[in-house]
Copies of this chain bind each other. A is one copy, B any other.
Amino acid sequence: MSRVNVAVLGATGIVGQTFLWLLARHDWFTPVYLAGSGTRREKIYGNVTPWRLPVEMPESIRDQPLHALDLDECVDSGARIIFSALPSSVAADVEPALKKKGLAVFSNAGAMRHAPDVPILIPEVNPEALDHIHEQGYPDGGFIVTNANCSTTGLAVALAPLREFGIKELFISTCQSISGAGYPGVPSLDISDSAIPFIPGEEEKIASELREILGIDAAIFSTCVRIPVRYGHLATVWVRFDGPVGREDILEVWRGFRSEAVTPTTPPHPIIYCDEDSRPRPDMSFFGDPPGMPVFTGRLREREGLIGFVLLVNNLVKGAAGGSVQNAEFFLQKAGDGS
């Protein structure tokens, strides 16, 4: 398979940085166009980007030019696939425009998530949603595929194999890291040695996106808390099923869970169960194969007919840039399959 040229929009933000860290060492993709919307004229990426990941800026990215976003330039760059880490307000204009120009847009922005025919895709969970791109006009034109909100992504993966038991009610409480709010994001005086029991819009997104992606009609009750941790979103979950389900049932379907996607960024084991009571923990966010892509679960227990557990998702990798990269890979896999 020949390499595919890609563009990254919103390249200097923390999700943009995560895209570039993943793409710099990617076997299929070559980043050829990097755009930061605030940039007035061409600059060098490494000179103007305050890097905020725990993993270093790749050498191959450091000297690339950083462009002010220009749709024609983007098209002319030869990029076939566009990865978008744009703010939602910008994405709402830019992403449809790029689609119109025939490009394949894989977006982390929330802007288009609820547009008709735009799928929220997690290959492990709802691979069939990719088909919606045909309703958008593909292959005669471009399309947009989004990934879910970061917290939703972790929940959707952990819950996907449990759908077979009939999910009736979900009680979710999250402990979300500061990197989920982007940069500058949360002022340190608001979160240092404290916690904030509110993340605007997050609880609504979890409910609506979970129902859409999982294809379930459960009642979902959630509370989202920001905690003073850099990376990784933790969630505590209680599930009421239609009938009796045991701890071993859950462990078995989690163990057997595999993705229809078989691509470089898809984890061979999408869900990793931690036996230790004190895990999963946010300091493990970049663990796993590939790093940051599996969802870690733990503390599985039954109580009065309900099942409780804890999960950890890397909000920047699986929950954002890595999810989009995986979606693009899955699209190419399916295209290569002739599907």
Contact = CB atoms under 8 A, between A and B. Distances in A.
Interface of A: 14, 50, 52, 54-56, 171, 173, 175, 178-179, 183-198, 200, 219, 221, 223, 225, 227-230, 234, 236, 238, 276-284, 286-288, 291, 298-299, 303-304, 306, 308, 310
B189 A179 contact: yes
A194 B310 contact: no
Contacts of A299: 197-198, 223
B178 A175 contact: no
Given A54-B286, A195-B234, A197-B280, A228 B188 contact: yes
Contacts of A229: 192-195, 227-228
A63 B185 CA distance: 30
B189 A185 contact: yes
10 contacts: A52-B283, A54-B286, A56-B284, A179-B189, A187-B187, A194-B229, A197-B281, A221-B238, A225-B236, A225-B310
B198 A278 contact: yes
Contacts of A223: 173, 236, 238, 299, 308, 310
A191 B188 contact: yes
A168 to B, nearest CB: 12
Contact of A236 (B193, B197, B276, B278): B197
B225 A195 contact: no
A187 B278 CA distance: 13
Given A179-B189, A283-B54, A298 B197 contact: yes
Contacts of A179: 189
A192 B228 contact: yes
Contact of A195 (B50, B185, B281): B281
